Structure 1
Amino acid sequence: MIQHILDQATLTDIQTFNILHRHIPLDQPMARHRLTSSLTDRYLQLIETMAAESFGGDTAAARALADSALVSGLLIEAGVAGSDDHVDIPATYGRDISGIIRSMADPADDLDILLDSSWKRYRSVSSRDNGVVYTPAGVARFICRKTIGQWLLRQVNRQFGRSYVTQDEMIEACSPDEAWKAREILNRARILDSSCGTGVFLQAAAEEMTRLKATFDPDRHESDIGQIFQHTLENNISGTDIDENALKIARARLMLSLRKAGHLKGKGIRLQIEKRNALLPGPEPPRTEQYDIIVGNPPYMRIKSMYRGETDGLQRKKTLASEIMKSGLYRLQDGNLNLYKLFIERNLSLLKADGSMGLIIPSPFLNEASSAGLRRHIFDTCTVEEIVEIPEKVRAFGVVNQATAILVLHKGEPGTKFNLRLGASAESLEGGSISVDLKELKAITAGRMEVPLLTAPAIEWGMLKHLMNVPPFKGDSHFPEVGSICVGQLDETLDKEFLSETPTGDIFVKGIHLHEYSVDLSEAGSSPRWVDKKAFLEKRPSAARVIESARIIGRNTINKSCKRRLKFALLPPGYVCGNSIKQIVITDPQIRPLYLLGILNSSVLNWYFEVFCSQNNVRNYSIEAMPIPRAPGPAQEAVACVARSIMETEGETREYLDKKLMDALIYELYFMDTRMLSSAVLAAIDERSGPGAFMHEGIQRIVEMIEGREGFKIVRQATYRLK
């Protein structure tokens, strides 16, 4: 396909910068999944047949032969097979393999999908168990185009004394002499994918380098493209991985791509692909700052979750973790070791000064606390150029659910701004970004450099800047902390001996008993309902102080897809809570409990939490960072009275008080200069009694006015998942 494109292209066409990628559209993962499903079914059925007829039911052995034959057949079909690539297979099965090959729309990509399917079906430990997922080719091309192009733009500007802003401008304005020098810069570039897997990024990088080299070669002929591609593979592209099967596919992928590029020989090609664990040093001294460009999709897996189901899995995990920590290569890891974070840190050390890196990583990295050190290091020592967030719901990886983010940066002086694109999909990665000022981000996040996941960036960024003026829960130089935060003292696994199905006289409280503004303290509540409080306190006497205090409690874990993720209620003294409960004991005497309860359950704070939290857990630091207005007495009284009325009512009245009046009251408190609604609520308290006082027509008109504000619509959409 590359050859066909370039056969039609003139030099002018190529200099439009996007000739290849205009004609090689970004893959549509789910569509690709459907198109290859019949091929996958045929291939897996063939393996089952081979296993039954020739391998005594051993599907793993049948899969190994079928995979080898498939790779061999593709290389032979492309005319690039070497003497070692031929595989002996019974003629009947060989014909089936040939039929599958002839049905492939794109052999390089379809090969990857077929073999990925066979590995997952017939291996005891699937590629996904090792944190490996298939990267759509379009995503890899986007990352390589951004990363390589930005790197070249900087080199040209520095070496030629230019100030080109875009890659298009650079290509259009380069003189013939500069074009020749730019090509030499490209020829010297070293590119690495340190966890290359089946070679999707190696192929994408080679394609992009070939396109750029051809663009800057005014004398080249279309027939030279194959030679340029071969030179790129042999001199510019390197890949490492620990999976020999994946590397075999990577080699085949690159050879097939070479054939597509018009290189008809293919034999004797020296590919720089090796089996090696890039996370660990080899026998030679650790390699650092070797590469100009690093791209890839590192595996997403905590080491403690690896090797599941293997007899020596526990020992292998311990050995790997020990080797990593003793290597001396890592100083920015916090919490559980995760492969993708290790690869980020390792890649940064392998990257040259002013080198570029483009990775696709889990989006929780953007704002989780355990990544704060590594994240700050990146912003302090690199210029982050672009972040593209891809939500879980778009299924960028086909059948695999994973929220991800594309991170493009270059190593060197910290930048001042970066482009942030939110809510992207694998089919639409360009455009729609906002420019984020790093000083503002640092101020908004108190130096944690958490990247907010916004749905309406143009409006929400201004809202976040406004909240910089509100003191956080944890306090600052002018205000004390609102209270102390802790998890429920009874661990339902370690302390289950104290739980009982029969009455003990003491009610036990866990997450399932809790809803916004209410907690089920009835004897008929969900089990386990009872606790031996006396025995528990004998074991944990330090828990008594919190247990005997009045508290505001919330759920410690709630799924990210749930409506209204923050759910809090008042809890009287004396109740034992499990570790699925978050507890707040107010220590600031100026803060009324019902006032704080109304704020914590409001759509404003639910929105704020949603913006900065991509996990299911409600962490202590997330609450500590929340902006809590230290409002004067009358404003607190208005919120407290509405909160009390919510707790005392049911049905439509409660729905109105909770999701309309309280939300509007809190929005006014945070984002409006006037206190019309607060004053109207206080006036209603003086004139009437009971929840009906807040249904007054005047109050409803003010609520409707606030509901018309764009910011209010946004916070409610985020909280209640409104369309």
Structure 2
Amino acid sequence: MDAASVMKLRIFSNQYYEFINKFVKSDFENSKMLGKFYTDLSIAKRLITDLLSQYEFPIGSNRIRIIDPFCGDGRLIKLLLLKIADIDVFKTVSLEIVLWDIDQVAVEKAGNEIKNIIKETSLDAIVNTENVDAYVLYASEEKKFDICITNPPWCLLKPQKIFHDRCTLQEINEYKKSVALYDTYIKSEFPLSQPTRKFGKWGTNLGRTGAEVLLRLMAPKGICGLVSPASLFNDQVSVTLRKWIFDEHRIYSISYYPAELKLYGPADVSSVTAVIGTGKTDTFFTTKIFGLEHNYETKILDKDEFEYVKRNQYTLPLETGFGMFNILRHLEKLPTVLDFCTENDFTFVRELDETRVTEKLSGYGKIGFAKGYMVDRYQFQADGLFLNEEKVVPPNTIKGWKIVWRDVSRNSQKRRMKATILPPGHIVGNSLGAICNMDERKNGLLKILLAVMNSMVFEFQARSHLVSNHVSAGVIKQLHVPYLTKEKKLQKLVDNRMIGKNVEWEIEVYVAKLYALTEKQFFAIVSRFDFSNNEIIELKTIAKQYY
């Protein structure tokens, strides 16, 4: 290790990891704190197969360097070597295997197990293990590895409340300083991986910086295999990193695995694997969208589809599937929610921070408090909580009518959009998104917007952007809505639905017609939702009245 890396480790990295190791009380806590999500073996094998199918063996070379900078238990390298052992051309060269990890026990154990594999397969290879922080050491090894493969930490770098009850105030302050110092280093070293927006001071995503580390280690004619949360290719804050990946590298393939597969134990998270090389991404990279039975649909993007991806912040419609591109391109011609709200003086609002929210509430009062669990589709169930006006001055928007929707909505839920309208006299916590109308005369338009936001067509768009569990205002703003006018019939349907009448299927069909979708296009969208045969039959019966 060079002197600069040693200095950076001592100043920026060691304090943070030493604190974690000292005060966590179990392997589970350690894994949660450090974002350890070990790669499912079936995913790892597919990734390695895809990687080796694209690897151009260097003619005339007598050595190949391979690295996993966040090796964990070494499973990716183990599986890679077992696959390589069956390929004759790799038997003509020597291999240098490099393993890095901050967990000394794990990296040493992985190194020993890999040495046994080398012995069993008679590969000409050596193994070098280092108990080191890849975010620091990478700089001395940039562009030096032929094959890079990893699953980096999946976590945000921020102080964790878990330590508050087990550490002294001085220890907590030292911990916060170590996090801040490490975060300062990461931000300066990996500006491409920094989120475009942060809520509060923190926001550095070590999974994103880990992807950047991997690509920076790749030699000029090398290749990488990456395991990542799917949000890398789909969120609203990694646009700069995605643009760099697409424009400065060649993406060979991306495979998407939905959260419902439960590949990471209890964690409700969708994931991707990507094979990336040097060069520039053209329009012909392969995508695979896996289903719940590990079946998958394959798509090779054409030029128009690739241009659509670039126009939409380099996001990929992973959850909806690439077979729906024609519908997405049709919808993209329509105005956005933000366009509609701007035209009608509706505003996106955040009214009450729910941090230590119990201190801001009371069991009585004039202003009702609304939180995520109280909201369902077209429904609101108050929980007897009110704003304590002696502690908080209410914003003026409590006098308005608001569309509110749940901010947290899991991939596994049947319907992810759950929105309703609140009358004046309510304040909204940040577990809800909110759009406010201060002009009662425009409530008809607000009801129509509610019908659109609760529709399958709208949620279909949202799912093409949502891979995390958050339905953010940033996503909602960019989704497309029909050219909306005061549709009296639709307003009446919404009124009826909000008092509990069974008219939701009719609202769905009505909204699909407003979007100018054909019956075939509408039911293509319906097929992406988990409805029973009886529900589909009922929906088709109502659709016949409109098509």
- 1:49-64 correspondence runs (5 A): none
SS in 2 for 1:618: coil
Partner letter of residue 464 of structure 1? L
1:463-482 → structure 2 map (5 Å cutoff): 463-475=327-339, 481=343
Q: Distance in 2 between matches of 1:191 and 1:139?
A: 19
- Establish whether residue 491 from structure 1 lines up as the match of residue 353 from structure 2: yes
Would you say the 8 A contact 1:281–1:287 is kept in 2?
yes
2:148 equivalent to 1:300: no
> Are 1:579 and 2:430 matched, yes or no?
yes
Aligned to 2:15: none
Corresponding residue for 1:83?
none
Aligned to 2:5: none
Q: Against the structure 1 CA distance between its residues 362 and 354, is the aligned structure 2 distance closer, same or farther, given a 3 Å change threshold? A: same
Residue pair 1:330, 1:345 contacting (<8 A) in 2 also = no
Aligned partner of 2:325 in structure 1 is 461
Measured after TM superposition, the shift of residue 329 of structure 1 is 4.3
1:356 aligns with 2:223: yes
Does the 8 Å CA contact 1:387/1:421 hold for their aligned counterparts? yes
Instruction: Read off the aligned partner of 1:567 and give its amino acid letter.
Output: K
The one-letter amino acid of 1:421's match is K
What letter matches 2:527 in structure 1? I
Which has a greater percent of helix?
1
Distance 1:244 1:558, change over 3 A: same
Larger radius of gyration: 1
Distance 1:376 1:721 in 2: 44
Supply the distance in 1 between the matched residues of 2:406 and 2:267 (Cα, whole angstroms).
28
2:142 alignment partner in structure 1: 288
SS across alignment from 1:361: strand
Q: Which residue of 519, 527, 530 maps to 1:717?
A: 530
Contact between 1:595 and 1:637, CA under 8 Å: does it hold in 2?
no
**Which residue number in structure 2 is paired with residue 257 of structure 1?**
117
Gaps of 5+ in 2: 1-23, 537-547
**CA offset digits 1:236-267 (Å, max 9, x no partner):** 3222112211122112211221232157xx9x
State the distance in 1 between where 2:477 and 2:531 align: 21
- State the shift of 1:587 in Å: 8.8
Q: Secondary structure at the match of 2:251?
A: strand
Q: 1:483 to 1:383 in 2, by over 3 A?
A: farther
Provide the rounded CA distance (Å) in 1 between the counterparts of 2:263 and 2:74: 18
User: Partners of 1:672 and 1:708 in 2: how far apart?
Assistant: 6
Is the contact between residue 384 and residue 409 of structure 1 (CA under 8 Å) also seen in structure 2? yes
Residues 1:127 and 1:250: Cα distance change in structure 2 (over 3 Å)? same
Superposed displacement of residue 433, structure 1: 0.9
2:406 to 552, 555, 570: 555
Question: Cα 1:548–1:210, aligned 2, differ >3 Å: closer, same or farther?
Answer: same
Measure, in 2, the Cα distance between the counterparts of 1:277 and 1:514.
44
Partner residue of 2:56? 152
Aligned equivalent of 1:415 = 282
Q: Does 1:205 align with 2:80?
A: yes
Instruction: Give 2:144's aligned amino acid.
Output: Q
Deviation per CA, 1:201-225, whole angstroms, max 9, x where unpaired?
222333344433x1x49xxxxxxx6
Is contact 2:458-2:479 (8 Å) kept?
Answer: yes
Query: Does 2:497 match 1:593?
Result: no
How many residue pairs get aligned? The number is 497
The 3 A distance-change label for structure 1 pair 403 and 422 is same
Whole-angstrom distance in 2 between the partners of 1:473 and 1:343: 34
Q: TM-score, normalized by length of structure 1?
A: 0.62
Match of residue 18 from structure 2 = none
Q: C-alpha distance in 2, partners of 1:121/1:535? A: 37
Higher strand share: 2
Q: Does 2:371 match 1:510?
A: yes
Offset of residue 440 of structure 1: 2.8
Q: 1:549–1:573: 8 Å Cα contact kept in structure 2?
A: yes
| 1:576 Cα deviation from its structure 2 partner | 2.3
1:144-201 per-residue CA deviation (whole Å, 9 max, x = no partner) reads: 3322331217x6xxxxxxxxxxxxxxxxxxxxxxxxx4xx34x333222111122222
1:630-651 Cα offsets, whole Å, 9 max, x none, are 1455xx3332222122234x3x
Of 657, 672, 677 in structure 1, the residue corresponding to residue 517 of structure 2 is 672
Taking a change above 3 Å as real, the CA distance of residues 562 and 398 of structure 1, as seen in their structure-2 partners, is closer
Q: Which runs of 5+ in 1 are unaligned?
A: 1-119, 156-180, 218-224, 674-705
**How many Å separate the matches in 1 of 2:278 and 2:304?**
19
Q: Are the counterparts in 1 of residues 243 and 314 from structure 2 also a CA contact under 8 Å?
A: yes
**1:627-666 residue pairs with structure 2 within 5 A?**
627-633=480-486, 636-648=487-499, 650=500, 654-655=501-502, 657-658=503-504, 660-666=505-511
Q: Partner of 1:609 in structure 2? A: 462
Shift of 1:140: 2.8
1:342 CA displacement: 1.0
Cα displacement (A) at 1:590? 11
Q: Counterpart of 1:377?
A: 244
Give the letter aligned to residue 713 of structure 1.
Answer: V
Amino acid at match of 1:331: L
Q: Which moved more, 1:308-317 or 1:142-151?
A: 308-317
Q: Which amino acid aligns with 1:404?
A: S
* Structure-2 separation of matches of 1:322 and 1:495: 30
How many Å apart are 1:389 and its aligned residue?
A: 0.9
Following superposition, the deviation at residue 320 of structure 1 comes to: 2.5
Deviations 1:264-298 (A, max 9, x none): xx9xx74222222110148xx64422222211111
* TM-score with structure 2 setting the length: 0.80
**Do structure 1's residue 443 and structure 2's residue 308 form an aligned pair?**
yes
Alpha-carbon distance change, 192 to 722 in structure 1, aligned in 2, over 3 angstroms? farther
- Cα offset for 1:354? 4.1
Instruction: Kindly provide the CA deviation profile for residues 286-311 of structure 1, in whole angstroms up to 9, marking residues without a partner as x.
Output: 44222222111112122226795475
Report the Cα distance in structure 2 between the residues aligned to 1:287 and 1:463, rounded to whole angstroms: 45
Q: Is the 8 A contact 1:387 1:407 kept in 2?
A: yes
* Separation of aligned partners in 2, 1:717 and 1:347: 37
User: Counterpart in 1 of 2:420?
Assistant: 569
Instruction: Compute the displacement of 1:708 (Å).
Output: 10
Aligned mates of 1:145, 1:712 — CA distance in 2: 33
Secondary structure of 1:422's counterpart equals strand
* CA deviation map 1:561-593 (0-9, x unaligned): 333222222223343222223221359979822
Matched ranges for 1:672-711 at <5 A: 672=517, 706=519, 710-711=523-524
In structure 2, what is the Cα distance between the partners aligned to 1:308 and 1:572? Answer: 38
Contact conserved, 1:191 with 1:238, CA < 8 A, in 2?
Answer: yes
For residues 533 and 351 of structure 2, the distance between their equivalents in structure 1, rounded to whole angstroms, comes to 31
For 2:155 and 2:300, locate their aligned partners in 1 and report how far apart those are by CA, in whole Å: 31
Q: 1:322 aligns with which of 184, 188, 196?
A: 184
Q: 3-state SS of the aligned residue for 1:370? A: coil
Alignment partner of 1:573: what SS? coil
Question: Is the contact between residue 334 and residue 482 of structure 2 (CA under 8 Å) also seen in structure 1?
Answer: yes
* Cα displacement (A) at 1:665: 1.0
- Take 2:214 and 2:162, find their aligned partners in 1: how far apart are those partners? 27
Secondary structure of 1:389's counterpart equals strand
Task: Report the equivalent of 2:207.
Answer: 340
1:621 maps to which residue?
474
* Paired-residue identity, %: 21
Deviations 1:28-53 (A, max 9, x none): xxxxxxxxxxxxxxxxxxxxxxxxxx
**Is residue 134 from structure 1 mapped to residue 23 from structure 2 by the alignment?**
no
Instruction: Indicate the residue corresponding to 2:4 in structure 1.
Output: none
